Amino acid sequence: MEASVEQLVYVREDAYTVARMSADGEPGFVATGRALAGVQPGETLRLFGEWGRHPRHGRRFAVSGCERVTPSSVRAIRIYLGSGLVRGIGPRLAYAIVDHFGEATLKVIDSEPERLTEVVNIGPQRQGQIVQAWQEQKAIAALMVTLQGLGVSPLLAAKIYQVFGQDADEVLATDPYRLIGRVRGIAFRVADRIALQSGVPERSPQRVKAALLDRLDAAGSRDGHCYVPLSALVRETAELIEQDQELVRPMIDALVADRRLVVETAPDRLNAPHGAGAGAGAPYGSGAVVVYAKHVHAREVALTEQITRLMSARSTLPLRSFPDDPGLHDDQRAAVNMALTCTVSVITGGPGCGKSHTVKAIATTVRAAGGTVTLTAPTGKAAKRLSELTGLPAMTVHRMLAQQPDPDPETLFDERPSQADLIVVDEASMLDLHLATRLTAAVPSGSHLLLIGDSDQLPSIGPGDVLADLLRAEAVPRVRLTHVFRQAGGSGIIDAAHRIRAGRLPVRTAGGGFWFEELDDPAQVARRVAHLAMVAIPRKQGVEPGQVQVLCPMRRGETGATALGRLIQDQLNPAADDKPEHWYGASVFRVGDRVMPIRNNYDKGVFNGETGTVTSVVPEERQIEILTDDGESVRYGFDELDDLTHAYAISVHRSQGSEYPFVVAPIVAESGGIMLRRKLLYTLVTRAKAWVVLVGQREALELAVHRLGHRRNTGLARRLQLSLDTDP
């Protein structure tokens, strides 16, 4: 039958779709199936399938196949144009266009678009916008058909078109491996499926090279490694493409010649993986020769050079000594003197050990002597928290690097923040290789760079382990704050954190703040976490649900961030007839949703890790608007929604640099509990200010406490040690 899509009800990550449809003789029915992947409200479809009855949801049409067809009736055309599928046309304008052209409307738009100006309120500019949007929509629809024929999810069509535009078909036909790394959601396996279907030989050089680069990229994006031992890279690549290792080795040489890889002798044991070998938890063993992606190698070398430059420079700080302050502990005084005398230094320590108070003492001293200070952190939330804890202004590292002075003259920022006498970077464990290289390159010789961070927290999302590497390089000055102050000692959160750090199970203390609720079944765990976040904690503590953050060790699975986030979204912000929404892949964005940017966007002025609320969804403009927690209004086009994620439940990695009044988290050994390890649990617990509640399996909690995980493969510590030892 032919039917129009009225509303998307549900889209799963595997593209299984539930939609409300209408058709002559069958008004208001439900259709289901993966064949509906990528359909949008307003489209007219030719459906193939059979009627059935769901025990809970009643009668529905199970779709085995579907084809997009051009709407023919006036009503269907009006619904199609008014749905927002074509940018620039909303319900009112759709009514006017269809009223003027009737059943010939779509033929006019397609073949005689100049006639659109016959309609009131359509001038040449809007007419051009409508025609462009119409052509884009046709191209994406055709691309969906192509992908479906290749056995690939049609949900990727819009993403591919966004990157490659009219060249998308040519890329799919001639070099599908170009999709890797450029289209979110497409790694080697998807691109390889397209390539093999398109006739690319299994032993072709382009296939082997793509697999090599994929394995190297996966080591960086998944595990944070900067390099992979040559033997492991060859073995894993051969396994991925199911070919002999002899086919792989020559392609490494070719990629080195193309300046895309660097092969060199492995760093010595100073920086080798923990217990390299079987069962050690490290995905890659040690080897005599290692392989870097060219851009990663270049940044590691550049970061070494920049830190060496800064440490070798003569200090220009106006003050080099610190008057004795009886309010500081001995290790805090040592940290202050170090920061004032060393051009590069590190302060590390756990929660409650006075890192923020120490930073305030250092910054106040420098300013009192007439020097300038810039306080920074990798994310907006971390910068805001640093400002609150020290009582001094702070900005993001990205803003500092953009050389944007604070508009408020009372904040005392230097006009060029990266040129300050002292630059402090809090939450330095979040610095990846790329950001650390940009940061150090911006600091002038003679200025002091002070990195503050908890080395027991998770390392950066991106490749590298900068803070840990600096602490491993003996020549870099550092102080570890270990004294837990009395006011912090009574906190159940801080007590739990220090127990986890020492490899002991956290326990409930008299002061409260930490709670573990034991449940075994993952489905029950998910429901209990959602109930605690939405109902129990807000009711007991007298707070809004927005003050309770769900953090998840995993993204996938019943207790992963994706499933839990959707469960909470459906309860706190369900679909409603009067509430605009837009489906993007398997995610739906509604007015009132809590969202988080996952990429820095300098044009929009938003950065990874900030949070905001969706304030409008405008189908005719194909965009949504969010209001950030800092009060900024930002617009995202429907084709930019890859840059946003829902914030109802987020991964522990995405929570770094943030603090929340209340944290609830599932602790379940799904998929072998591959993400459960000590640093992740420690980071999770230290995100909470008032209470942290863990729900799940005791054996999973024990696994997280006792599993150390692997050390990242990096060469920075060794390079620094060699450079600083030989520097004159």
What is the tens place of the pLDDT at every residue in 150-172?
878 777 888 899 899 989 999 99
| Last residue within a domain, chosen from 121, 145, 169 | 145
296: in domain: no
342 carries a ligand binding annotation: no
DSSP character at residue 518: E
* pLDDT at 413 (0 to 100): 44
The CATH number for 177's domain is 1.10.10.2220
DSSP string, 412-463: ---SSGGGSSEEEESSGGG--HHHHHHHHHHSPTTSEEEEEE-TTS---SSS
533 and 499 part of one domain: yes
Q: Which amino acid is at 205?
A: P
User: Over pLDDT 70: what percentage of the chain?
Assistant: 93
Domain that holds residue 167: 160-265
Which of 376, 509, 515 lies closest to 451, judged by CA? Answer: 376
114 and 12 part of one domain: yes
Q: Render pLDDT for 172-208 as a digit per residue (tens, 0 to 9).
A: 988 899 999 888 878 899 999 999 988 899 999 999 9
* pLDDT at 85 (0 to 100): 78
385 and 242 part of one domain: no
428 and 515 part of one domain: no
Between vectors from CA 265 to CA 261 and to CA 270, what angle results, nearest 5°?
120
355 carries a ligand binding annotation: yes
Give the mean pLDDT of 499-518.
89
544: in domain: yes
356 carries a ligand binding annotation: yes
| Last residue within a domain, chosen from 225, 240, 265 | 265
16 and 122 part of one domain: yes
Measured from the Cβ of residue 494, the count of other Cβ atoms closer than 10 Å reads 24
More confident residue, 381 or 545: 545
Give the model's confidence band at 510: pLDDT under 50 very low, under 70 low, under 90 confident, else very high: low
Give the model's confidence band at 21: pLDDT under 50 very low, under 70 low, under 90 confident, else very high: very high
452: in domain: yes
676 and 619 part of one domain: yes
Give the mean pLDDT of 137-147.
85
Measured from the Cβ of residue 238, the count of other Cβ atoms closer than 10 Å reads 20
* pLDDT at 322 (0 to 100): 63
> Which backbone phi and psi does 695 adopt, to 5 degrees?
-125, 125
Average pLDDT over all residues of the chain = 88
Identify the weakest region by mean pLDDT among 447-451, 576-580, 685-689.
576-580
Give the whole-angstrom CA distance, residue 362 versus residue 320: 11
Looking at the chain, the number of H-run helices and the number of E-run strands are: 25, 26
481 and 497 part of one domain: no
529 and 583 part of one domain: yes
Give the model's confidence band at 728: pLDDT under 50 very low, under 70 low, under 90 confident, else very high: very low
The CATH number for 340's domain is 3.40.50.300
Identify the weakest region by mean pLDDT among 137-141, 159-163, 407-411, 599-603.
407-411
Q: Where is 247: in which H helix or E strand?
A: helix 245-257
Confidence check: pLDDT of 281 > 50: no
pTM more than 0.95: no
| Last residue within a domain, chosen from 464, 485, 506 | 485
Confidence check: pLDDT of 95 > 70: yes
* pLDDT at 439 (0 to 100): 95
Confidence check: pLDDT of 650 > 50: yes
152: in domain: no
3-state SS string for 264-317: EECCCHHHCCCCCCCCCCCCCCCCCEEEEEHHHHHHHHHHHHHHHHHHHCCCCC
Say if residues 575 and 590 touch (Cβ distance below 8 Å): yes
The CATH number for 7's domain is 2.40.50
Say if residues 206 and 192 touch (Cβ distance below 8 Å): no
Confidence check: pLDDT of 619 > 70: yes
422 and 513 part of one domain: no
Confidence check: pLDDT of 348 > 70: yes
530: in domain: yes
297: in domain: no
The contacts of residue 618 (CB under 8 Å, 6+ apart) are 84, 580, 624, 625
Give the whole-angstrom CA distance, residue 667 versus residue 651: 12
Say if residues 313 and 305 touch (Cβ distance below 8 Å): no
Give the model's confidence band at 403: pLDDT under 50 very low, under 70 low, under 90 confident, else very high: low
On the CB side of 139, how many CA atoms lie within 13 Å of its CA? 18
**Number of domains present in the structure of the chain:** 4
* pLDDT at 324 (0 to 100): 72
511 and 395 part of one domain: no
461 and 503 part of one domain: no
* pLDDT at 695 (0 to 100): 97
Q: Where is 408: in which H helix or E strand?
A: none
312 carries a ligand binding annotation: no
478 and 497 part of one domain: no
43: in domain: yes
704: in domain: no
